Structures are given as C-alpha cells and as structure tokens.
Amino acid sequence: MQANVARLRAHLGPSTALCAVVKADGYGHGAVPCARAALAGGAARVAVVTGTEAQRLREGGIEAPIIAFGALDDEELDRALDAGAEIAAWSTRFLRRLGDRDARVHVKLDTGMGRLGTRDPRRADEVVEALGERAVGLWTHFATADERGDRFFGEQLERFRAWALPHKERRPELILHAANSAATLREPASHFDMVRCGIAIYGLDPFGEDPAGHGLRPALTLRSYVATVKRCEPGQSAGYGRTFVADEPTRLATLPIGYGDGWRRALSNNSDVVIRGRRYPVAGTISMDNLTVDVGLDSDVEPGDEATLIGDGILAEEVARRIGTINYEITCGLLPRTRRAYVRDGEPARE
C-alpha cells in the first residue's frame, strides 16, 4: 500500500499533493491501517465521506488533515467538525446550516457527474464568496475518467478550469482538486494542487485491468483454509439447490467462507480458488458460511491447507469481471466477519 502511494506520487509534479481516499472502511481493507500506510507512503491527507468515518480515523490516531467530502446531515456535520475534518459545500442553504462555525470548506462544482455539487458556476462563486477565508479548496469529480478516450472527461476538465483558475489567481492558497485514480494515471492536466486517489492506492486498477500495468500491487489477499475434504461419487451433490452434481468420482474441499463474509453468491460455480499453487473451481452454490471446491482425485489437497480466493494469481479484477461488477465492489463487499491481519514488509503491522 505504501509502495502504491509512492508509485502514484511519482506521476505527480512537485506541487501536487496526494490525498488518500479511505472511505467505506478503506474500500473494505480497513480505514485506519490504510490511512497510516498511505501517510507513510507520502500522502499529505486522507479523505472519507461521512463525519463518522472522520471520527473513526481520529479515534485510530490519525492526525493528518481529513476531508469528509460527502453530503452531511446535521449529525454528520457535527461529527465532521468535531473531528476537525474539512468538509464540502455547494449551496447557500448548506451555509445556513453551517452558520458561523469554524470550518475549512471545499466548494464543489458539478461539471458533469450529476450528483453532488452545483452545476452553476455563478452559484458556486456565491458560496466561495460567502465562505470568505473558510473556503480552502475548489473541486469537482469526473464521471468517465476510467473510460479511456472518452471526450466527456475533457469537457468536465475544461468546465472546472474555467471556473476554478480565476479564483486561484486571486487566492493562490486555494487547493484545486479534481482527479480520482483513473484521472491521475491518465491525464496530468487534471492533477492541479491535489489528486484524490482511492482504488489505486490499494493496488487495484481503476480501468479494471491488471494493476501491474501501472506498477501497482494489490494490498489485499483473501485467504481461507480447507476445513474438510470428502469423496463425491457420481450422482452425489454439494450445497443448496444441488447446483453441482458429480458426474464422475471426485473430491470436494469445503472452505469455511461464504457470502456472510462477503464472498458473493453470484460466484457460485463461477470462481476459482488456489490451493497448494493450483487453481480449482468452486463447485456448487456458495452459502452463507461455506463453499465447496472440486479438487479432483489426483490432488494432494488436505484439511488445514491454505486456500486463496484473491491473490496467488487471482486478481480482484478477475473476480469482478466474472460477476459483471468492478473491483471496487469486490473489496468493499468484504464483511466484518472476515478477519483482517495487516502486514508491512512481511512483518505483522499495527491494526
């Protein structure tokens, strides 16, 4: 993780900072240890979405600047400000809720994402104006940065430049930021003063390809183990709904992991597991707590063997592709029951 951040920073000019996005519990990896590793790798600050997430980082001992860039209801706004987090704004209505409280605010222009932010540069100007010194950043977010060659990306970039650069000229201390991981890797003109990288710091590829292509290494390995191995005769089946029925004698290994851990049911009969260096297919329906793997008659798989679901040649990108989603959703989907262990340079690291 630390190496991925360093690698991304090598794409940046000397005046561009990297903000590590650790929302959604660090894309399922664990927000606090990821924030710590990203800061060690040279990130200048970290970003989350909610005030609660910002508080958790503070409780975990993260002292770096935090941005909570989501839409905040009153409670989340209180929490964000209590945590000393910077926040986002785009409407005078929100400014009324903020009142005269002390805050560091990033004003958001919606240049085409169509979610948060105002589409009207004039209204964004009003918010900047009303905030005065409390406005510390100007920002936007891309809708299609991960679609190479897409022209909309350039249009959004132009709209952002046209709005933000005149402000920057008047107030050089304003932090301009727009790029997510894909934009960071794809277009230096989108870097401005800061980039907000999420997926790539985890060593996952924003374009859904092999992250090695960008010199990134997956931070996460997902492992279970073989709890039992049993013979399966022709006609015998495994799992709910009998979606696997043996047509020749084989052996099935049961791993104690399932969709209750975040290993999605759609991967039933549609994913592989690596045991003792060999890939074997998942056979049958993945249940909440277990799944079964067809290890054949000639393998030496036995109870206690380690079993890898992500890692050892299986990329989160491959898993995502099999079920028509993106790598983001695969790691974000890992549930609390999957025990996390953190490693740094091969040694156990702090939680």
Residues labelled as active-site residues: 23, 240
What letter does residue 302 receive in the DSSP assignment? -
Asked if residue 117 lies in contact with residue 90, where contact means CB atoms within 8 angstroms, the answer is yes
In terms of CB distance, is 141 or 214 closer to ligand PLP? 141
CA 97 – CA 290 distance, rounded (Å): 48
Q: What contacts 219, CB < 8 A, 6 or more positions away?
A: 1, 4, 29, 34, 37, 201, 202, 203
Which residues are registered as beta bridge partners of 118? 109
Which residue from 16, 50, 55, 180 is in contact with ligand PLP, where contact means CB under 6 A? 180
Which residue from 196, 214, 223, 264 is in contact with ligand PLP, where contact means CB under 6 A? 196
In terms of CB distance, is 263 or 328 closer to ligand PLP? 328
Cβ neighbours around 170 below 10 Å, total:
8
Locus of tokens 């409280």: 101
Q: Is 128 in the site for ligand PLP (CB under 6 A)?
A: no
CA 68 – CA 53 distance, rounded (Å): 8
CA atoms 169, 174, 180, 182: torsion sign: positive
Q: In the complex, what is the shortest distance from the CB of residue 141 to ligand PLP, in angstroms, rounded to a whole number?
A: 4
Q: Is 290 in the site for ligand PLP (CB under 6 A)?
A: no
Q: In the complex, what is the shortest distance from the CB of residue 70 to ligand PLP, in angstroms, rounded to a whole number?
A: 8
Q: Is 206 in the site for ligand PLP (CB under 6 A)?
A: yes
Q: Nearest to ligand PLP by Cβ — which residue?
A: 198
Q: E strands of 6-74, at which residues?
A: 17-21, 45-48, 66-68
Q: Is 141 in the site for ligand PLP (CB under 6 A)?
A: yes
Q: Is 117 in the site for ligand PLP (CB under 6 A)?
A: no
Q: Is 144 in the site for ligand PLP (CB under 6 A)?
A: no
- How many residues contact ligand PLP, by CB under 6 A? 13
Burial 60-92 (b: 16+ CB within 10 A, else e): eebeebbbbbbbbeeebbebbbebebbbbbbbe
Locus of tokens 């201390």: 173
Which residues are registered as beta bridge partners of 253? 229, 293
Which residue from 68, 69, 144, 309 is in contact with ligand PLP, where contact means CB under 6 A? 69
Of the ranges 10-18, 33-41, 89-97, 195-203, which one interacts with ligand PLP (CB under 6 A)?
Answer: 195-203
Which residue from 174, 197, 216, 253 is in contact with ligand PLP, where contact means CB under 6 A? 197
In terms of CB distance, is 178 or 274 closer to ligand PLP? 178
Which residues are registered as beta bridge partners of 93? none
Rg (CA), the chain: 23
Of the ranges 179-187, 212-220, 281-289, 301-309, which one interacts with ligand PLP (CB under 6 A)?
Answer: 179-187
Q: Is 198 in the site for ligand PLP (CB under 6 A)?
A: yes
Q: Is 161 in the site for ligand PLP (CB under 6 A)?
A: no
Binding site for ligand PLP (CB under 6 A): 21, 23, 69, 141, 180-182, 196-200, 206
